[in-house]
Copies of this chain bind each other. A is one copy, B any other.
Amino acid sequence: MADVGGVAADHLRSYIERIERLEEEKKAIADDIKEIFAEAKGTGFDVKAMRAIVRLRKMDKADYQEQEYMIDLYKHALGMLEENAPAEDDMPPEGDAF
Contact = CB atoms under 8 A, between A and B. Distances in A.
Interface of A: 8, 11-12, 15-16, 18-20, 22-23, 25-26, 29-30, 32-33, 36-37, 39-40, 43, 45, 50, 53-54, 57
B16 A22 contact: no
A4 to B, nearest CB: 13
* Copies of this polypeptide in the complex: 2
B36 A22 contact: yes
A98 to B, nearest CB: 17
Nearest to A7: B45
A36 B15 contact: yes
Contact of A15 (B8, B45, B57): B45
